[in-house]
Amino acid sequence: MSLAVAIIPAFAIAQAPVSGISAGKDIAIVQTQTGKVKGYIHDGIYTYKGIPYAKAERFMPPARLAPWQGVRSSMSYGPVCPTDPTVTTNDEFEFPFNHDLGYTNENCLSLNVWTQKINDQKKRPVMVWLHGGGFTAGSSIELPSYDGESLTKKGDVVVVSVNHRLNILGFLDLSAYGEKYKYSPNAGLMDLVAALQWVKENIAQFGGDPNNVTIFGQSGGGGKVTCLMNAPSAKGLFSKAIVQSGSYITSFMDAAIAKRVGAALLQELSIDPSQVDSLQKISYEKLNAAGKKALSKVQEALKAEGKPVPGFGLGWGPILDGAILPYQPTEAAATELSKDIPLLVGSTKNEFAPFNPTTRDITMEQAKGMLKKSFGDKADAYIAAVKKTYPNTVKPSDYTDIDLNFRPLSIMQANLKVSSGTAPVYMYLFTWQSPVNDGIYKAMHCMDLAFQFNNIKRCEEMTGGGKEAYALAAKMSQAWINFARTGNPNAAGLPVWPKYTPENGATMIFDNVCALKNNPDKELLEIAAHK
């Protein structure tokens, strides 16, 4: 063996510097199946951004990449999927979210990797993050909480985050117009499967264990986790799943409706079905606008026909296409696919309620009036149930802004999983209240992300960056790390966290004082459901 050959592996696994940035032509190089990539080292963490995992052509399945020569620089984030342009923001809520909208390109299939070591043959747990934004918006770089460095440093896990096709680019059903478009209905989900296949094939070189992969996501990302648990093509590509405020996917769009949307789009653009290929050349802006009109027309037609419309309205998302998603989530064949996958599932106390400013400074009389409109003669019982569930409730708005959507759906998903599988289920409820901006953000949608990623420092606008936030983040992030490592989230500093069953309702309450409670809000939810 020559001296040069002997030096390369030794350098590749050398201890990374513990602080600052280290970057250069011979630093942080990893061989993937399609070529070498070069990242950089920040505070001891090897970081790779914008690595392509597949190639996207409009409405086509993701295609394998052609190998490249030399070393591909992968030190900055790749493009994000085109979405509706942001032309205005709500200043009070943009402040805590602090979005990074990135730059767009339809060929957006890239991922990011954080790891403590490379090329060292150590099998670290792998955590693949699927971003929020429903199935229409968002990206892997959208929020500062998504950065994987801190989680990697804390838990010696390999964190991967993924960009994929969204909205009309990822979920337009053109399958009625030829075999080439057979997979168009769920192209965006096929991207995620391709990303997981990339992880399977390449993550060992980044220090990860390809046989110990956890997929986790929040909001739309949680919905994507649910979809992958129901996708035969994803089976074997991950071993654990975490759904955070994302249990809203209870059914997939019927293929017949999806095909009607495709037909309405062609009609809107005055394109004959025989000329469907011309959709490839239309600008995204024109395509996107026509797609919205098509969705609206089909929704109105369904209403006129007396047929059900989804609660949030007809939109882009997973389709029961018979190929990528052959079963509805409640079907036995679907639950069989993921029966051996441990699940961690939960939501936040307030979710979207804090976004409504009209309830912020109400009086108790106003609160009672609002609750009577919602619960009628059960309003007083609801108020009592809130006080029982949350004994520290003082402000009138605390009675009106409790999430009653995501929480019951989380329970529904947990119950289905327990009843149909052998793997454990763990339930949580995040109730910690942010002190920022006079406490208006409460435990809103996305508040928990900074804690799960151990990113309080990056998310001070959201959390305040106080001692209590750091203390809770230390516990939560360790629970997520432990679950990724073993399928069990029990961690130091937390009460014993038993497996969830519909009977015990075991729920870990994440707050300044964490507590394990059985069916903590059962009475409240039963009243809310008008039982």
Structural domain spans, the chain: 3-244, 253-320, 349-452+466-528
- The CATH architecture of the domain made up of 3-244 is 3-Layer(aba) Sandwich (3.40)
Q: Is the dihedral of CA 326, 329, 335, 340 positive or negative?
A: positive
Confidence category of residue 531, pLDDT binned at 50, 70, 90: low
φ and ψ at residue 513, rounded to 5 degrees: -115, 110
- What does the pLDDT read at residue 11? 37
Which of 110, 139, 219, 233 is catalytic? The answer is 219
Of 106, 115, 51, which Cα lies nearest the Cα of 78?
A: 51
Q: What's the whole-model pTM score? A: 0.95
Choosing from 110, 445, 461, 477, the catalytic residue is: 445
Inter-residue contact 334 to 296 (CB < 8 Å):
no
Task: Specify whether 468 is catalytic.
Answer: no
Q: How far apart are CA 182 and CA 367, in angstroms?
A: 52
Contact call for residues 43 and 212 (beta carbons, < 8 A)? no
Q: Which of 142, 149, 351, 461 is catalytic?
A: 351
149 is catalytic: no
Phi-psi region of 123 (alpha: psi -120 to 50; beta: other; left: phi over 0): beta
487-510, pLDDT tens digit by residue?
999 999 999 999 999 999 999 999
Assess whether pLDDT exceeds 80 at residue 183: yes
Which residues, at least 6 apart from 194, have a Cβ–Cβ distance to it below 8 Å?
Answer: 53, 54, 62, 109
Strands 21-22 and 40-42: antiparallel
The confidence score (pLDDT) of residue 154 equals 98
* Model pLDDT for residues 351-408, shown as the tens digit of each residue: 999 999 888 999 999 999 999 999 999 999 999 999 999 999 989 999 999 999 999 9
Q: b/e for 100-113, b at 16 or more Cβ within 10 A?
A: eebeebeebbbbbb
Site of tokens 């098509």: 294
Query: How many Å apart are CA 228 and CA 472, to the nearest integer?
Result: 30
CA distance 419 to 416: 5
- Catalytic status, residue 338: no
Q: Helix, strand or coil for residue 332?
A: helix
